């Protein structure tokens, strides 16, 4: 029995060697193929892979273990001869077939997903479940270009022995498993996939279910090949609304041909029309019959027709004329009623529109009065204070006129002195209020300045979208702005205040100068006082000094380059050569932007501050009405012509001259307030200019714009003085 077992063991080993020589499986479970040149190991050439020798060694060891089991079984059977020779032969046959079945199952493949630790990349390979973990390591080492000795494979958190196979680990044929692989020397041999990450969207191995026979399916493992070459671009389409692109593609299969119908569809006979004519006779004939010789026709159904009154042609036409007149009267009545209803509805709509316009004008006047009253009571801007001074001057003139008309001698002088004292007190009150408003608006002005310096650069692209760009200087400006806001906070705890001060100290220490040294000294002084328990109210002045010096630090272009574009004084002295002028009022050399531009060639000799101070001290005029007229004019002209230039060259003083000197501060048709006046074109087809304009109220403007040609329409001409002045402008 032992000799036969050894003989059969030798046959099994020879069969396995022949099968390995024929198939020569690789670690992936597929037939061995010559790897591409770019996937071979450097210096490998045509040498044999180390994994092949390990495969034959493992197969021999498995065959020896099978032979050992056969020997032990044969010894046990020889000792129990009494159980019968038939049962012994049956057991020997089953034991001989068991390695063959095991070898057949071991050739089946399974999908192995290997997770590279710690990167987390996943590699998917098709592997024969009969091969060992050592062969899997050799295959993965060749893929990753690392030595196989540094690889460690674990399953469910425990290391797997190299001698074990996937079948012993519980992997079934055509199944899948997930393993973790790490490197014992991650510094010298890190685990990284050679394929770029963007190519890992498609798995390396997929399982396809193929129908072999009717109601018979087979699962086939397919490996995905990624060719290195790039597909040829064949053109395509682009969706105009969504922007999605659709590319043309080619396939290797021929188009499916339609089956032959057996009939010639495209022929000359099918495309030729045949015409023919055919006469037809009506199947029913109609005739009449009268009584005669040999023919009798019954007269029972005959009718007796008697003639009526004879109507002449004149009577017939008169009757038709009266009928037509009657129809016309009803039709004209209906048309007249329709016209009356239309006129009545138009009248009602016009009355409603007029009422609406009147209500709208009333609301606008009330809104203007409320806004004017609010500006009087709570002035916030320079225009509001000019309005206050204008009201003060108007009140002074009225009081002075009343005193001069009612009093004489010493009483008049005393009243004028009292009036002067009251005016002085009112001017002082307005000045105090102006200083308070400036102090209240200081924080808002500073925050707006910091927001502008920290804002990203913006421009509009060709497609209309707004593009924003941030640089390193923008990030620096944003950090300084946030730090200034934190330093300016008053309702913070002591720990937060110390944290803000420490951050500020490290920030200013980056640049060494007298300003940064002063800021650091003040920070150390505040920290010392806070540690001694000084109250926050006593530190308010010190904190104000720190904020002021830090703001000066932010406004320095050497520390914050983004503020250079917002400073009035340019950093390059050469830019001041042709753009600096002398103010005749304060005798200071100022930038051209500090002077009021004028439409005339001659530049004003006084700066804006001197002009405003001169207006407050002497004339006390209010130019808000003229500013509103100029603003409405620019908006209307920009809507009609985007390339309009003249309205944007005019200034408030020029509009004041046109309104007061040329048009006498009133409309040509009837008098109106300045708040209700506006400039429009005299001829609609020509651009607006001082010689092609007319000053009208808002109600007259809508009617004037409906006229196409003022020379042909019956419109009232401007008054003689205004027309002559307008002609002088030409």
Better pLDDT: 337 or 694 = 337
- Per-range mean pLDDT, top range of 104-118, 144-158, 163-177, 475-489: 475-489
Round to whole Å and give the CA distance between 160 and 153.
6
pLDDT of 595 reads 81
Domain membership of residue 441 (yes or no) is: no
Least confident of 167-171, 325-329, 719-723: 719-723
pLDDT of 669 reads 65
Round to whole Å and give the CA distance between 696 and 332.
44
How many structural domains compose the chain? 4
Q: Can you give the CATH number for the domain in which 169 is found?
A: 3.10.20.90
Burial of 321 (0-12, 13-18, 19+ CB in 10 A): exposed
Residue for token pair 């421009």: 459
- Examine the domain organization and report whether 507 and 573 are in the same domain: no
pLDDT at 694 over 70: yes
Ramachandran angles phi, psi of 111, nearest 5°: -90, 120
Burial of 488 (0-12, 13-18, 19+ CB in 10 A): middle
Q: What is the mean pLDDT of residues 270-294?
A: 73
pLDDT of 335 reads 96
Closest CA to 419 of 459, 392, 441: 392
Non-local CB neighbours of 7 within 8 Å, separated by 6+ positions: none
pLDDT of 293 reads 85
pLDDT of 79 reads 35
Confidence band of 62 (pLDDT split at 50, 70, 90): very low
Least confident of 182-191, 330-339, 429-438, 654-663: 182-191
pLDDT at 614 over 70: yes
Non-local CB neighbours of 471 within 8 Å, separated by 6+ positions: 457
Least confident of 69-73, 273-277, 353-357, 441-445: 69-73
Q: What is the mean pLDDT of residues 632-654?
A: 88
- Examine the domain organization and report whether 138 and 164 are in the same domain: yes
DSSP 8-state assignment for residue 664 = T
Largest distance between two CA atoms of the chain:
164
- Examine the domain organization and report whether 615 and 627 are in the same domain: no
- Residue 123's beta-bridge partner residues? 114
- Examine the domain organization and report whether 637 and 592 are in the same domain: no
pLDDT of 1 reads 40
- Examine the domain organization and report whether 474 and 529 are in the same domain: yes
pLDDT of 318 reads 96
Round to whole Å and give the CA distance between 9 and 60.
11
- Which of 496, 516, 550 terminates a domain? The answer is 550
pLDDT at 584 over 50: yes
Round to whole Å and give the CA distance between 640 and 642.
7
- Examine the domain organization and report whether 614 and 670 are in the same domain: no
Confidence band of 403 (pLDDT split at 50, 70, 90): very high
pLDDT of 67 reads 42
- Which of 151, 169, 188 terminates a domain? The answer is 188
For the chain, the average pLDDT equals: 77
Strand pairing class (466-469; 457-460): antiparallel
Least confident of 70-74, 152-156, 222-226, 414-418: 70-74
Burial of 129 (0-12, 13-18, 19+ CB in 10 A): buried
Ramachandran angles phi, psi of 718, nearest 5°: -60, 160
Domain membership of residue 666 (yes or no) is: yes
Confidence band of 253 (pLDDT split at 50, 70, 90): low
- Examine the domain organization and report whether 572 and 515 are in the same domain: no
Round to whole Å and give the CA distance between 723 and 411.
49
pLDDT at 35 over 70: no
Better pLDDT: 164 or 61 = 164
Round to whole Å and give the CA distance between 676 and 236.
61
- Examine the domain organization and report whether 627 and 705 are in the same domain: yes
The tokens describing 165, both together, are 């196979």
pLDDT of 270 reads 64
DSSP-H helix ranges across 145-271: none
pLDDT of 351 reads 95
Q: What is the mean pLDDT of residues 113-134?
A: 80
User: Cα–Cα distances in Å, from 201 out to 25, 195, 548, 560, 704?
Assistant: 28, 11, 58, 46, 70
- Residue 640's beta-bridge partner residues? none
Least confident of 62-71, 305-314, 711-720: 62-71
Better pLDDT: 727 or 13 = 727
3-state secondary structure 427-474: HHHHHHHHHHHHHHHHHHHHHHHHHHHHCCEEEECCCCCEEEECCHHH
Closest CA to 221 of 210, 234, 230: 210
- Residue 23's beta-bridge partner residues? none
Residue for token pair 């099994």: 12
Helix, strand and coil percent figures for the chain, each rounded to 5 = 55, 10, 35
Domain membership of residue 634 (yes or no) is: yes
Round to whole Å and give the CA distance between 81 and 364.
125
Domain membership of residue 658 (yes or no) is: yes
Domain membership of residue 264 (yes or no) is: no
pLDDT at 66 over 90: no
Domain membership of residue 135 (yes or no) is: yes
pLDDT of 176 reads 78
My answer on whether omega of the bond before 257 falls inside 30° of 0, hence cis, is no
Least confident of 102-116, 240-254, 602-616: 102-116
Cβ contact 453:563 at 8 Å: yes
Confidence band of 383 (pLDDT split at 50, 70, 90): confident
- Examine the domain organization and report whether 578 and 545 are in the same domain: no
Round to whole Å and give the CA distance between 456 and 467.
10
- Per-range mean pLDDT, top range of 6-10, 67-71, 175-179, 454-458: 454-458
pLDDT of 376 reads 83
Q: What is the mean pLDDT of residues 588-594?
A: 79
The domain in which residue 532 lies consists of: 468-550
Domain membership of residue 669 (yes or no) is: yes
Least confident of 91-95, 127-131, 350-354: 91-95
User: Cα–Cα distances in Å, from 217 out to 107, 128, 210?
Assistant: 19, 21, 6
- Examine the domain organization and report whether 607 and 632 are in the same domain: no
Q: What is the mean pLDDT of residues 229-238?
A: 78
pLDDT at 320 over 90: yes
pLDDT of 227 reads 59
Q: Which residues of 253-266 are buried (b: 16+ CB within 10 A; e: fewer)?
A: eeeeeeeeeeeeee
Strand pairing class (457-460; 245-247): unpaired
3-state secondary structure 105-169: HHCCEEEEEEEECCCCCEEEEEEECCCEHHHHHHHHHHHHCCCHHHEEEEECCEECCCCCECCCC
- Which of 579, 595, 621 terminates a domain? The answer is 621
- Examine the domain organization and report whether 685 and 607 are in the same domain: no
Q: What angle do CA 465, 466, 467 make, to 5 degrees?
A: 115
pLDDT in tens, 671-692: 667 888 889 898 888 889 998 8
- Examine the domain organization and report whether 526 and 583 are in the same domain: no
Domain membership of residue 219 (yes or no) is: no
Residue for token pair 């079984």: 73
HSE-CB for 377 with a 13 A CA cutoff: 6
Gyration radius from the chain CA atoms: 53
pLDDT of 621 reads 84
Least confident of 86-90, 116-120, 143-147: 86-90
């Amino acid at each position: 029995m032992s000799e036969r077992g050894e003989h059969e063991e030798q046959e099994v080993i020879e069969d396995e060697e022949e099968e390995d020589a024929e198939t020569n499986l690789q670690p992936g479970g597929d037939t061995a193929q010559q790897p591409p040149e770019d996937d071979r190991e450097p210096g490998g050439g045509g040498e044999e892979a180390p994994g092949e020798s390990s495969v034959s060694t493992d197969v021999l060891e498995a065959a020896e273990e099978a032979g050992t089991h056969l020997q032990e079984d044969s010894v046990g059977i020889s000792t129990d001869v009494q159980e019968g020779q038939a049962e012994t032969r049956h057991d020997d046959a089953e034991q001989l077939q068991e390695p063959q079945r095991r070898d057949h199952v071991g050739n089946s493949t399974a999908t192995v997903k290997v997770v590279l630790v710690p990167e987390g990349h996943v590699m998917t390979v098709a592997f024969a479940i009969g091969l060992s973990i050592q062969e899997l390591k050799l295959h993965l080492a060749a893929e990753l270009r690392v030595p196989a000795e540094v690889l460690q494979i674990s399953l469910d958190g425990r290391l797997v022995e190299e001698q074990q196979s996937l079948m012993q680990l519980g992997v079934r044929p055509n199944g899948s498993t997930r393993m973790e692989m790490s490197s014992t020397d991650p510094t010298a041999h890190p685990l990284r996939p050679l394929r770029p990450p963007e190519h890992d969207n498609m798995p390396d191995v997929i399982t396809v279910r193929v129908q072999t026979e009717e109601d018979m399916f087979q699962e086939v493992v397919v490996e995905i090949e990624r060719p290195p070459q790039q597909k040829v671009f064949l053109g395509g389409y682009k969706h105009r609304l969504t922007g999605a692109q659709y590319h043309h593609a080619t396939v290797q299969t021929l188009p499916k041909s339609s089956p032959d119908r057996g009939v010639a569809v495209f022929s000359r006979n099918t495309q030729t029309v045949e015409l023919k004519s055919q006469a037809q006779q009506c199947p029913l004939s109609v005739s009449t019959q009268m009584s005669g010789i040999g023919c009798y026709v019954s007269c029972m159904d005959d009718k007796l027709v008697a003639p009526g009154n004879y109507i002449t042609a004149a009577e017939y036409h008169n009757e038709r004329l009266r009928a037509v007149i009657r129809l016309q009267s009803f039709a004209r009545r209906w048309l007249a009623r329709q016209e009356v209803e239309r006129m009545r509805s138009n009248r009602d709509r016009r009355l409603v529109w007029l009422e609406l316009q009147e209500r709208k004008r009333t609301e606008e006047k009330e809104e203007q009065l409320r806004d004017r009253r609010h500006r009087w009571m709570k002035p916030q801007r320079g225009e509001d204070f000019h309005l206050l001074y204008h009201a003060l001057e108007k009140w002074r003139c009225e009081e002075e006129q009343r005193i001069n008309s009612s009093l004489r001698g010493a009483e008049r002088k005393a009243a004028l002195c009292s009036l002067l004292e009251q005016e002085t007190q009112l001017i002082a009150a307005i000045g105090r209020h102006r200083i308070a408003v400036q102090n209240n608006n200081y924080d808002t002005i500073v925050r707006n300045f910091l927001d502008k310096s920290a804002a990203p650069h913006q421009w509009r692209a060709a497609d209309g979208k707004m593009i924003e760009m941030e640089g390193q200087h923008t990030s620096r400006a944003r950090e300084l702005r946030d730090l200034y806001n934190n330093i300016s906070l008053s309702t913070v705890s002591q720990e937060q205040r110390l944290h803000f001060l420490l951050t500020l100290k490290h920030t200013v220490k980056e640049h060494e100068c007298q300003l940064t040294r002063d800021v650091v000294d003040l920070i150390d002084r505040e920290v010392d006082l806070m540690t001694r328990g000084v109250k926050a109210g006593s530190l308010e002045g010190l904190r104000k000094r720190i904020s002021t010096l830090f703001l000066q630090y932010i406004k320095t272009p050497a520390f914050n380059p983004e503020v250079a574009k917002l400073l009035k004084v340019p950093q390059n002295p050469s830019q001041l050569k042709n753009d600096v002028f002398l103010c005749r009022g304060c005798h200071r050399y100022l930038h051209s932007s500090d002077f009021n531009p004028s439409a005339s060639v001659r530049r004003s000799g006084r700066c804006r501050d001197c002009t405003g101070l001169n207006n407050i001290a002497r004339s006390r005029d209010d130019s808000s009405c003229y500013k509103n007229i100029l603003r409405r004019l620019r908006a209307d002209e920009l809507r009609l012509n985007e390339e309009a230039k003249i309205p944007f060259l005019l200034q408030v003083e020029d509009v004041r001259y046109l309104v007061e000197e040329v048009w006498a501060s009133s409309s040509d048709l009837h008098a109106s307030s300045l708040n209700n006046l506006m400039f429009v074109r005299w001829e609609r087809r020509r651009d607006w200019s001082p010689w092609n304009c007319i000053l009208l109220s808002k109600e007259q403007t809508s009617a004037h714009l409906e006229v196409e040609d003022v020379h042909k329409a019956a419109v009232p001409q401007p008054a003689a003085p205004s027309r002559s002045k307008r002609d002088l402008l030409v």
